[in-house]
Structures are given as structure tokens and as C-alpha cells.
Amino acid sequence: MTLDELKTALLRSYQEYGGINHLDGAHLPSEESVHRLAYDMMHLLFPGFFEQSAMTMREIPEVTERRLAAVFDRLEAEIEKAMRFVDHPDPVSTAEQKAAALCDAFPEIRRIIQTDVEAAYQGDPAARSIEEIILAYPCVLAISLQRIAHELYRLDVPLIPRMLTEYAHERTGADIHPGANIGTHFFIDHCTGVVIGETAELGHHVKIYQGVTLGAKSFELDDHGHPVKGVKRHPNIEDHVTIYPGATILGGRTTIGRHSTIGSNVWLMKSVAPDSIVYYKGDTTSVVRENHTTDRGETDSGSDDVTDWMI
């Protein structure tokens, strides 16, 4: 094919295959600009950690003001594009309001992210310092950007929340939907291969390892055979749960009770009571209920309750 023939063939494909291009429509948010937002927001969350040259405390006010202004301007511009994409009647003022709302949330987001860093330090004996966690642990980027994207998701901003989490996905291998609701002190050890779905609910002090999936068991379809949007599809993980590598937990009605441990490669589509240990035993999944006086003021009685589920 000559260059002219190739051009003609491509132009024909643009006309014939709708949905793969967005010509003559609303200007979509820029991937490059959203990636720059992710970069700048990480600098706002962790000032002094990602600089090419040293920064002093005297410089912090000026640098913070400059970065905040740059983030707000870029965020406002990209949100306006996203609102135009969904034909919002007032994209300009709406973009300004939503950009301001996210920026207003930065101090609280940063407070929560500090608990994630602390959880990583406390949860990994290989970590030698908080600085090492922030500079070298991929979970910091994945969780931090998800928390920012979650705020935009709650503000009903189209497109941009997923673009932010996909940037983190590309960099870390962890795919966390911006809709997932995650408590404080969240730690993903090793990070790679983790998938957390849109309607997942995670409590406080949850620790998961690489390859864990918190996914949907099935998709409810409408009368036309299309997936129904906005229904609860992903599991609930209560406080102080640990999930080891390769575990798969599915379903919107599935709840993992507080202080439970899910072993490696376990496949779960049923709820688990608090204080349980779930692991493989031959061809079955065994659930051991730990019965003891807990440090939360609750007393269990009787012998250990062991349930085997046939796989």
C-alpha cells in the first residue's frame, strides 16, 4: 500500500467504524494533562519527596501556592471538557465548583493517606523508614491517586476519575476503581495484579497482597441484554482483614467479617463470619472460626467451628 492508499483506507475506516473516534464532538479530557495532574497532586501530597533539588521549609508556602494554582487551573479545564462530553448545561461554572471542592478536600485526603503510609510501614518488616515507603512502594501511588479519584467520582465528574486510576494502574499494576470506598490504614503489599471493583467496600486496617481480586460474581442484564449499571456487585471487607496473595472474593452480597484472614489462592463467593481463617484443605475451602476472648471486649464460647465448602 502506498502512503496515499493507506491514508485513504484510514479515512474510510474513520467514516465506517463509529465509536472508535471522537471527531467533531466535545473536546475530551487530555490524557497527557490528566497525567500531569497526577504528578502535581502527588507533589502536593508529599512535598519535598519527589523534587529534583532540595526544598526548604521557607520555600514551602510559595511552592504550595504555585502548585495549587496550577492544579486548580488544569483541573478546572479538564473537568469542563468532561462536563461538555456529557452535555452538561453549565460546564464552566460546574467545572469551577467541582475543581474547588476537590482542592478543598486535599488536607483531609492527605491526612488519610498518611494512615496508609503508616500501615505500610507497620505491615512490612522489610521497610526501614517512612521515606522508603513513600519513595519506593507502589501502593502509595496507587492508593493516593485512588483516594483523589474517589472524591471526583463522588462529585460525579465523568472520565477523569478513571483516567487517574488507570495512570496508577499502568505504573503499579494495581487496578482500583475510583468508586471503591476504602477506609483508613490501607496497605497493598507488592501491589501487582490487584483488582478492586467499583462497588467494593473496605473497612479500616485492611491489608491485601499481590494478585487479590475483589470482583463481581455475575452481571445483572436489562431487557436488551446489557449490563445494569450502578448495582452492588463487589464484596464488603470489614475492619482488620488480611487477604493473602491470589485470593479471589466475588459478589455484592459477600462480606468478609472483621479480623478475618483469607489464605492464598482461596476462591470465595460466600460471606465469612468475623474472626475466621479461610484456607484450602485438599479439594475444599476450610473456614475456621477462631473462638476466644478478643481484644475488642467480645467473648466467643465453644470449640472452633470448622466448615468445609466443596469447590
Q: Give the residues across from 289 on adjacent strands.
A: 276, 305
pLDDT at 281 (0 to 100): 80
Strands 276-281 and 284-289: antiparallel
Mean pLDDT along residues 99-113: 97
Q: Is the pLDDT at 43 greater than 60, yes or no?
A: yes
Mean pLDDT along residues 232-255: 97
Q: What is the pLDDT of residues 55-101, one digit of tens each?
A: 788 888 998 999 999 999 999 999 999 999 999 999 999 999 999 99
Mean pLDDT along residues 208-230: 87
Question: What is the model's pTM?
Answer: 0.88
Q: How big, in percent rounded to 5, are the helix, strand and coil portions of the chain?
A: 40, 15, 45
How would residue 204 be classed by pLDDT, with cut points 50, 70 and 90?
Answer: very high
Mean pLDDT along residues 284-288: 81
How would residue 301 be classed by pLDDT, with cut points 50, 70 and 90?
Answer: very low
Q: What is the pLDDT of residues 126-139, one digit of tens each?
A: 999 999 999 999 99
For a pLDDT cut of 90, what percent of the chain falls above it?
73
| H-helix or E-strand spanning residue 18 | none
pLDDT at 303 (0 to 100): 41
155 compared with 287, residue with greater pLDDT: 155
pLDDT at 106 (0 to 100): 97
Longest Cα–Cα distance of the chain, Å, equals: 81
Contact 159, 29 (CB under 8 A): yes
Q: Is the pLDDT at 248 greater than 80, yes or no?
A: yes
Q: Is the pLDDT at 246 greater than 80, yes or no?
A: yes
DSSP symbols for 267-297: EE-S-B-TTEEEEEETTEEEEEE--SB-TTS
Instruction: Kindly list the structural domains of the chain, giving each domain's residue range(s) and its CATH number in brackets, ordered by start.
Output: 27-173 (1.10.3130.10), 193-311 (2.160.10.10)
Contact 232, 199 (CB under 8 A): yes
